[in-house]
Every structure is written in C-alpha cells, then in structure tokens.
Amino acid sequence: MKKTAIVGTGSYLPEHIMTNFDIEKFLDTSDEWIYTRTGIKERRIADKGQATSDLCKVACERAMDMAGVKAADIDLIILATITPDTHCPAGSNWLEAKLGCDNAVSFDVTAACSGFLFALHVADKFIKAGANKNVLVVAGEIMSRVVNWKERESCILWGDGAGAAVVTESDEGAQVLSTHIHTDGAAGDTLLMPGGGSKTTPISHESVDKGLHFLKMIEANKSFKVAVNRFAEASEEAAAASGYTIGDMDVIIPHQANLRILQGVAKKLGVPIEKIYMTIEKYGNISSATVPIALDEAVRNGTIRKESLVLLTAFGGGLTWGSSLIRW
C-alpha cells in the first residue's frame, strides 16, 4: 500500500492582536473573568481587507517552502473552513487561483473544529488510492466575522488564522500512520449558525435582527462533557490502530477549544498536561485551523523532533470528531 507523509507545514496569524483588556473596553467583562473560564489571554483578528483565502495562501506558501515543492507540483487542494470567502465559488477555488496551482483540483470540507483532520483523512485516502500525489491540506478561519461581539459567553473564545500541510505519497517525511473521523448529526444543534443556508432563505432584515447569521453555542456544559469524551475516544482509537497506547505519545495536539476542556482531556487520558501542546492562551479558538497552526508551531520550535510520535485530535460542531497518528 502507498504511504502518506507530511513533508511540510506552515501557518499564518494576522498581525492584529486583540487582548482581553481590549474586549473590556466594549463589553461588560474582564481579563480575569475570560481567562478563568477559557484560558485565553489574546487572539488574532484579520484586517478588514483580508479574506480566509488570504490567510491560507501565506500558510500554504510556508508549507510548500518547507516541503520544497512548487505550485505546479500540487494536484489537490482541500480547504477545511466554516468561513470561506464565499459559499460559491468555494473558498478553496479562490485559494487555488491565488497560489497559482493550475494543475490542482480544489474543494472545501466543512466539519467545524474537526475540519483539518477530516481534510487530512480525505487526502490520505486519495493518495493511498493513487488518485493524487501532492496535496495541500489547509484549514483557515476568520471567526471574528461570524460571532456576535455583544454575546459575552461566546465572542471571547474566537480568533482568526490558518494552518497548512503538504501531504504526499512518500516513504520519507512524517508518516501518517492512521486517520479516523466520526459524526453525530442528531446532536449537531449544540453549535450552529442558524442563518445563511436554505433553511432561512432569503436573508431578511428579520433574520439579521434576530442574529441568525452568528455562530451560536447551546448547552455549553453538556458540550463540555461530550467534547472531553470524544477527544479521549478518538485519541485512544488512533493509538490502538497502530499498536500503541496513549502513554507512548510524545506530543498530543488537540483542537484548542478551551483550557478546561484540554485539562479534562489530559485527565481522561491519564497523561501529564505537559504532553498536551497548547496555543489557546495566545490564539484562542480558531475552529478548524487550531490543529495545523499548533502542529506547525511545534515543528518549528523543536517540540516535535525526528521519530516523535504525534497524536492529533479534535472535536467540533456537527457533531464531528477525529484523530490522526503521525510518526515524525
């Protein structure tokens, strides 16, 4: 069977930093209140002229540079996002044009915070099937444009950014040992954007006034418990699929949802919190992009070294969850 490897990673965070103290200026909250409940100190916010594909373009170029591949070498682009430039054409189509990947086919994957792992799963299967050779797997979000900045409980969580990986058929590089994805559509209404789809068409003053086009979190406490359990299940599934235990993992990179969730995952898995790679404090929750951003950061700062056993895991709206085990 063909082997799949990650041969380059890249990420991009917008320059503008919004701290909790900045939020204090327009919302009845405090740095202490936000940090105690989320573990977040600051998040990045895209400039007005930036679209999701712009963030993704930089992340992809950095990944391609590390991999030593050119735009002409890419034959598939899979973009995970819930905040594309437009819904038609797909966000990946805009990205393909900006990168100049004229030989590539491109499409979007919508799996909320689990999006990068869903996209990686698709890339792995396409490569193993012989359909593609060099795939850009990228996740990018501008969450700051789909949250209600008057809702104290939820707007404090989100940030903007993009992360990418070049995934190719190769016996060298970081070997993708397994990928696993799951969904539970019956429970999908716990995190949703009610407006913008065929259910509320056409968009009206009423739908806008009701805030139906903002992302909404429902039953947060219930979601917390489900998230911890799904994170743990997916992690154990990936480890067992390749004959390992959670204790064998060198680095665990989960979706950066909330510090308390990450602490709960570490406790559930029985691993020291030091094994959990975290970026939540400085970047917040960037939905599908948190995993590849953290992965790229860990690769570049030396946390992930040659032969490291790296576990990626995520849980998100849909409901969606998944994992991947990689031998670096």
Same domain, 163 and 182: no
Determine the pLDDT at residue 220.
Answer: 56
Q: Which of 173, 201, 226 is the last residue of a domain?
A: 173
Residue 101 among the catalytic residues: no
Number of domains in the chain: 2
Determine the pLDDT at residue 217.
Answer: 66
Same domain, 8 and 147: yes
Residue 113 among the catalytic residues: yes
Q: Where are the alpha helices (DSSP H) in the chain?
A: 20-24, 31-38, 52-67, 91-99, 115-128, 152-155, 205-209, 220-241, 259-269, 280-283, 290-300
Summary count for the chain: helices (H), strands (E): 11, 13
The b-or-e profile of 157-184 (16+ CB within 10 A means b, else e) is: bbbbbbbbbbbbbbeebbbbbbbbbbee
Mean pLDDT by 10 residues, the chain (328 residues): 94 98 96 96 97 98 98 98 94 98 97 96 97 97 93 91 97 95 84 72 73 65 80 95 96 95 94 96 97 98 97 93 98
Cα radius of gyration rounded to whole Å, the chain:
19
Contact of 158 with 45, CB cutoff 8 Å: no
Quote the tokens at residue 266: 């570490």
Query: CA-to-CA distance for 66 and 62, rounded, in angstroms?
Result: 6
> How many angstroms separate the first and last alpha carbons of the chain?
19
Determine the pLDDT at residue 221.
Answer: 57
Query: CA-to-CA distance for 160 and 145, rounded, in angstroms?
Result: 9
Same domain, 182 and 233: yes
Quote the tokens at residue 307: 């032969």
Query: CA-to-CA distance for 178 and 167, rounded, in angstroms?
Result: 13
Q: DSSP class of residue 201?
A: P
Q: Which of 119, 143, 173 is the last residue of a domain?
A: 173
Same domain, 238 and 303: yes
251 sits in which H/E element: strand 251-254
CATH of the domain at 110: 3.40.47.10
Quote the tokens at residue 180: 């696993």
Options 56, 60, 101, 113, the catalytic residue: 113
User: In degrees rounded to 5, what are phi and psi of residue 140?
Assistant: -145, 145
Query: CA-to-CA distance for 81 and 11, rounded, in angstroms?
Result: 15
Determine the pLDDT at residue 272.
Answer: 95
Same domain, 142 and 182: no
Determine the pLDDT at residue 206.
Answer: 78
How far is residue 197 CA from its own chain's centroid? 22
Residue 180 among the catalytic residues: no
Same domain, 294 and 269: yes
**Which residues, in sequence order, are bridge partners of residue 135?**
76, 167
Q: Which of 124, 156, 173 is the last residue of a domain?
A: 173
Quote the tokens at residue 258: 């909330």
| DSSP-derived 3-state class of residue 230 | helix
User: Domain residues for 138?
Assistant: 4-173
Options 101, 132, 255, 258, the catalytic residue: 255
Same domain, 243 and 132: no
Determine the pLDDT at residue 103.
Answer: 97
How far is residue 314 CA from its own chain's centroid? 8
Determine the pLDDT at residue 274.
Answer: 95
Residue 49 sits at the vertex; the CA angle it makes with 25 and 140, to the nearest 5 degrees, is: 85
Same domain, 154 and 277: no
Distances (CA, A) of 206 to 189, 203, 323: 21, 8, 40
Same domain, 228 and 167: no
Distances (CA, A) of 262 to 43, 106, 314: 18, 33, 11
Options 20, 134, 258, 285, the catalytic residue: 285
Q: DSSP class of residue 213?
A: T
Same domain, 105 and 218: no
Q: DSSP class of residue 29?
A: -
Same domain, 60 and 109: yes
Quote the tokens at residue 265: 């995952």
